[in-house]
Structure 1
Amino acid sequence: MKGAEWYQADDVAEEYEDKRFSRGGRLIDQREKAAVMRALSPLEGKRVLEIACGTGRFTAMLASEGADIVGLDISEAMLQQGRTKAQRLGVDDHLEFMRGDAARLPFPDDHFDAVFAMRFFHLADTPASFLAEMARVSKSQVFFDTFNRFSTRSLYNALLPMGSRLYSETEVYRLLDGAGLQLEGSEHDFVLPYGFYRKIPDGVAQAFRTVDSAIGRTPLGRPLASVSYWDVRVA
């Protein structure tokens, strides 16, 4: 995984949410949470696995909505942040955090109703093997996001010290076929890359987001989108 040592550092875990979801980054957090909720609902009694759960911002949210959820991550520092968040929200008895490798999931086949991963596949060295593991342990649904190759993300990507993996739609469809998954639905968003929003204040970010969303509703929205959300089913 790209940047694995950096990701597991204690100071990175402590500052992770403040750096990414403060200022204009709050709009990203809201949009991602809405995408996850829309895809996975209804959640009451649903058994869910989150891959690369990080600090538990999705894990705790889904537990509060009635999901029986496991959050798996490679970073113990990130998991500890998630446990603290779950305790603060009073949902720590509805979820479990585990340290583990997404390439070798410690669960039997068809163990979960749904498996999802956010902010994961852009760091994946072998996305096909990760997606196959997600499909293996899911009875039905897999949900994930990708950063898109032919978008403004490619410009921002050049500035990142460790880069990230970008995907074309053709590549995503090839990955789905290889994992035995069928596309149920997809959403495409953010003409402007995430990094731009994180650098500007809330009020300014909201103005740009209004324009960004308006473009997204036009025929140009899909080809220009920097992020895609994929809702798929086990064949």
Structure 2
Amino acid sequence: MKGQEWYQEHDVAEAYEDKRFSGGGRLIDRREKEAVLDALGPVEDKRVLEIACGTGRFTVMLAERGADVVGLDISNAMLAQGREKARAAGVQDSLDFLRGDAGRLPFPDDHFDAVLAMRFFHLADTPEAFLSEMERVTKDLVVFDTFRRFSTRSIYNWALPMGSRLYSRSEVDGLLESADLELRQAWHDWVFPYGFYRQLPGAVARPFRILDGTLGSLPGGNALASVSYWQTSVE
């Protein structure tokens, strides 16, 4: 798994959200949460697992909406940040954070109503194995995102210390077939890559986000997107 050691550093975990989701990064945070809620649908009283939950952005959000949620991550430092976030939101009794390996999930078959993985598959060295494990432990939904191969992310990718695994549509289709998952719906977004927005103050980023949405809404605009959100279900 790319970056496994890096994500376990305490200073990385402590600065993670400030670096990624302040300034223009707030637009990213808002859109990602919107995409998760759209893909999962109503979550009240549903049992949800988040893979690679990191600092608990989505885990805590889902707990606030009444989900019985478990967040799993390999990094104790990230999990510590998630627990602090849960306490601050007053939902620490409504969720569990566990340290574990996404390739060997410590849950029985069909244990959850939905499994979520955001910001994960771009680091995955064996995506087929991870997706198959996610399929095994859910009764219904598997929701995840990928960075697109033929997009501005390809240009940006060379500057990243760890790089990212990028996926074409045919590669995603192959992953779903290998995991016996059926695609229900997909959303494609972000003509400009995430890293571009994170470098901008919020007031400067907003006009670019409007332009981004305009370009994406044009005929063929989906082909320009750098990120895809996938809602899939067990066949």
Question: How does the TM-score come out when normalised to structure 1?
Answer: 0.99
The SS at the match of 1:93 is coil
Moved over 3 A (4+): none
Distance 2:94 2:216 in 1: 37
Partner of 1:95: 95
Partner of 1:213: 213
For 1:167, give the aligned amino acid.
Y
Distance 1:183 1:203 in 2: 36
Partner of 1:169: 169
* Equivalent residue runs for 1:139-218 within 5 Å: 139-218=139-218
For 2:162, give the aligned amino acid.
M
The SS at the match of 1:13 is helix
Distance 1:107 1:177 in 2: 23
What does the per-residue CA deviation read over 1:108-135, in whole Å, with 9 as the maximum and x for residues that have no partner? 0000000010000000000000000000
Question: How does the TM-score come out when normalised to structure 2?
Answer: 0.99
Instruction: Give identity over the alignment, percent.
Output: 69
Is 1:5 equivalent to 2:5 in the alignment? yes
Q: How many residues align?
A: 235
Unaligned runs of 5+ in 2: none
What does the per-residue CA deviation read over 1:124-170, in whole Å, with 9 as the maximum and x for residues that have no partner? 00000000000000000000000000000000001111101000000
Is 1:230 equivalent to 2:233 in the alignment? no
The SS at the match of 2:143 is strand
Is 1:79 equivalent to 2:85 in the alignment? no
Partner of 2:57: 57
Residue 41 (structure 1) shift: 2.0
Output the aligned Cα RMSD.
0.5
Unaligned runs of 5+ in 1: none
